[in-house]
Amino acid sequence: MSMIETIDICKTFHGKQGRGPLEVLKNVSLKVEQKEVVCIVGPSGAGKSTYLRSLNRLEQIDSGKIFIEDKLLFDCKDGVNTLKLSKDEVNGSLLEVGMVFQSFNLFPHKTVLENLMLAPVHVKKIRGEEAREKAKRLLLRVGLSDKTDAYPSQLSGGQQQRVAIARALAMEPRIMLFDEPTSALDPELVGEVLNVMKSLAHAGMTMLVVTHEMGFAREVADKVVFMYDGAILESGPPEEMFTNPGNDRTRQFLQSVL
Ligand code: ADP
Ligand code: MG
């Protein structure tokens, strides 16, 4: 089963105050199979974040198809979904997709435990006690059992990002999207977050990861996708992409980051 598939996704931002339209996604087609880890790499401005955001509707696409778990959810033309699915049907599928951002976005006035319980209780209507037990298990999994009652400001960036990962997992997603999850971290804190992501990958989570961590991509990814100027220029297994990229742009990019 493919967990995520997009066909010919297009997106243009219409500039304000006389700035021309900006075509940010140009026919982006990609498939992520169950339990696959796919890493998207590419220069800043390539459209990587817009692509991820379009998968869970933080961004509306102009045209193209989006499937989640083989189910066609969006078939858009001129910014309008031509499918007549109910809100519940769409939202149910979107709940299968968890996301972790570069900025951790934790609720500052809630404890770590409360951050993990909020969505399960309010969105999924899970009983408080059950949500609490689940949250504790997840904190154990990301190595933060001792921070249950701490507030985000009392944690390091790496710890906050691990809480953010646990918080996404609390909704029991079947696919996890990561948008440069370690880019905002001090270098010495990157490893602890990548380790949590690695263990998640080894546990069989389907993951789509935008990252500049080439070591992670090389070690963990099943497939590396190179995005440039709104399009996927090339994709393949990491050993191929890193040692023998077929495209000059890919080669230039890898030379600049490796
Ligand atoms: P990446 O994540 O690869 O750095 P982004 O998807 O963030 O790229 O951005 C792609 C392009 O779209 C950039 O030129 C960016 O400035 C532009 N862009 C992103 N979001 C918006 C927006 N809301 N309005 C207008 N332009 C945007
Ligand atoms: Mg980005």
Residue 15 has pLDDT above 90, yes or no: no
Q: Residue 16: what pLDDT?
A: 74
Q: Residue 256: what pLDDT?
A: 92
Residue 115 has pLDDT above 90, yes or no: yes
With 0.85 as the threshold, say if the pTM is over it.
yes
Mean pLDDT of 83-106: 95
Q: Which residues are bridge partners to 22 per DSSP?
A: 13
Residue 243 has pLDDT above 80, yes or no: yes
Q: Residue 19: what pLDDT?
A: 79
Mutate to test the pocket of ligand 1, among 22, 232, 257 (most ligand atoms within 8 A of CB): 22
Instruction: Note the pLDDT tens digit of each residue in 68-90.
Output: 999 999 999 999 999 999 999 99
Instruction: Determine whether the shortest distance from the Cβ of 53 to ligand 1 is under 6 A.
Output: no
Q: Which is more confidently placed, 19 or 199?
A: 199
Instruction: Determine whether the shortest distance from the Cβ of 48 to ligand 1 is under 6 A.
Output: yes
Q: Residue 110: what pLDDT?
A: 98
Mean pLDDT of 244-248: 94
